[in-house]
Structure 1
Amino acid sequence: MVDTALIKECSDPDLKPAIVEQFIERAGAPDPLAVTVRSGNRVVLVPKPTTPEETLALIRENLGRNIVRVGLTQYPAGLGIMEAGRLKPDLIEPCENIRMGTALFAKVYRVVTKWYGNPTDRAVLPQVFDDAIIAWQTGYFEGTAVFRAPDPGEMKLVDPEPEREGNSTSQRADHGAAAVSNAAQDVATDPNTAGIRIDLSGIGAREK
């Protein structure tokens, strides 16, 4: 579990710590060097990196061919390449990864919340959050590429209530797996699968 103090210090101010904790628990990873690589709806087995240099090298090897998620928040590494024009080494630094990841998730959460009509009904809020998590995992919500979607702007992001009866972890997992499979059919515009337009060969290279 990610340290509470780190969450309070580094997470986006639009998200309450309780939301961030749930987000990382359900969609993130416990290891700041964690790299997840997917090809369509298939997870690609890759060596587990043990150093920042190995992590950056693994990201570099897979960007442009596969979907790459990295760090505590499983941030979409390809998005950073397209927007910043370079692979940021601080992407795997825990605080920076939480800062970037929670800022992007806050936007995704706003996109999903707006689609629902900015609900306040406590019975609806867990489903909104569930869909925001799935949108983060797949990159899509109702046909919209959420990482590229315009930010709806200021709105209150409410902490969802605890799980409701009938909304078990296994049911959410089934829902998420179906969403991942569907999204995998249309990944051409996913920023994580975009071709690399720059030379990354010198980034994260190990010292000789």
Structure 2
Amino acid sequence: MDAAFIEQCADPLLKPAIVEQFVSAVGPGDPLAVTVKSGGRLILVPKPKTPDEAMEVIRQYGGQAVVRVGLTQFPAGVGVKDPSELKPDLVDPCENLRIGTEMFARIMRIVAKWYGNATSKEVFPLVFEDAIYAWNTGQFEGQSVFQAEDPGGAIVDRKESVPDITDAPAGATLSQSEAERSDEKEIGAAGIRVDLSRIGGQK
């Protein structure tokens, strides 16, 4: 991803390396990508070729299914009461990266708070992995992360060098509580389905 694009559009609280890792982990790399799921199942939709086509698909399924959009697969419908209120900004690459990274930064702060706001680089892979999990499911520790209040605080390991989430430090071991959380995630991963688009529609 172009460094100038990240600097211009992404949340400045996230280092470029974190932004790249986030987009790589959650998005297909296509600013017009629209993913629709209902009842945990993927709904095949025509691949949009223009922003107008993308918005047509988004509005068609908004309020009826979980719709993820753009580079960051931002959940369309968050904070929106009616699908007609959805704006073309969702499929604008810069705007999608801006709102996506702002939301992800907030989720990372929520997760980091659970970890006691630890700032060591050894903790970062755990925080990042849980934040990606929360982004994909919409949930962390029983709360909707897209509607949760921002706890504030710094994001751990804001250095240029970001360890890969699959690389655990040599000799590192999980505490008992962390190991239990890992087991709980494995057990509940398949069953957690959150229709984010309906949250705004029922208010």
TM tier, shorter chain? 0.7 to 0.9
- Pairing 1:6–2:11 present: no
Q: Which moved further from structure 2: 109-118 or 153-162?
A: 153-162
Distance apart, 1:39 and its partner CA: 1.0
Q: List gaps (5 residues or longer) in structure 2.
A: 170-183
* 1:181 pairs with one of 168, 175, 190: 190
- Pairing 1:194–2:203 present: no
Output the CA distance in 1 between the equivalents of 2:187 and 2:116. 24
Asked if structure 2 preserves the Cα contact closer than 8 Å seen for 1:69 and 1:77, the reply is yes
Q: Which moved further from structure 2: 157-166 or 58-67?
A: 157-166
Distance change (3 Å), C-alpha of 1:78 and 1:127? same
Q: Which residue of the partner structure matches residue 107 of structure 1?
A: 106
Q: Which residue of the partner structure matches residue 45 of structure 2?
A: 46
Distance apart, 1:195 and its partner CA: 6.5
Asked if structure 1 preserves the Cα contact closer than 8 Å seen for 2:68 and 2:75, the reply is yes
Q: Which residue of the partner structure matches residue 171 of structure 1?
A: none
Output the CA distance in 2 between the equivalents of 1:31 and 1:142. 30
Give deviations 1:48-85, integer Å, cap 9, x for gaps. Answer: 01011110000001011100000001111010424998
Aligned-partner SS, 1:12: coil
Q: Which residue of the partner structure matches residue 179 of structure 2?
A: none
Distance change (3 Å), C-alpha of 1:83 and 1:15? farther
Distance apart, 1:38 and its partner CA: 0.9
Q: Which residue of the partner structure matches residue 139 of structure 1?
A: 138
User: Segments of 4+ in structure 1 off by > 6 A?
Assistant: 175-178
Distance apart, 1:178 and its partner CA: 6.3
Output the CA distance in 1 between the equivalents of 2:189 and 2:2. 29
Distance change (3 Å), C-alpha of 1:41 and 1:84? closer
**AA partner of residue 43 (structure 1):** L
Asked if structure 2 preserves the Cα contact closer than 8 Å seen for 1:31 and 1:71, the reply is yes
Asked if structure 2 preserves the Cα contact closer than 8 Å seen for 1:134 and 1:179, the reply is no
Asked if structure 2 preserves the Cα contact closer than 8 Å seen for 1:137 and 1:180, the reply is no
Q: List gaps (5 residues or longer) in structure 1.
A: 167-174, 198-208
Mapping of 1:8-23 within 5 angstroms? 8-23=7-22
Distance change (3 Å), C-alpha of 1:32 and 1:80? farther
Asked if structure 1 preserves the Cα contact closer than 8 Å seen for 2:31 and 2:93, the reply is yes
Task: State the number of aligned residues.
Answer: 184
**Percent of matched pairs sharing the same residue:** 51
Asked if structure 2 preserves the Cα contact closer than 8 Å seen for 1:30 and 1:72, the reply is yes
Q: Which residue of the partner structure matches residue 164 of structure 1?
A: 167
Give deviations 1:115-157, integer Å, cap 9, x for gaps. Answer: 1111123322201100000100110011110011110013234
Output the CA distance in 2 between the equivalents of 1:178 and 1:65. 27
Distance apart, 1:7 and its partner CA: 1.1
Asked if structure 1 preserves the Cα contact closer than 8 Å seen for 2:82 and 2:200, the reply is no
Q: Which residue of the partner structure matches residue 175 of structure 2?
A: none
Q: Which residue of the partner structure matches residue 176 of structure 2?
A: none
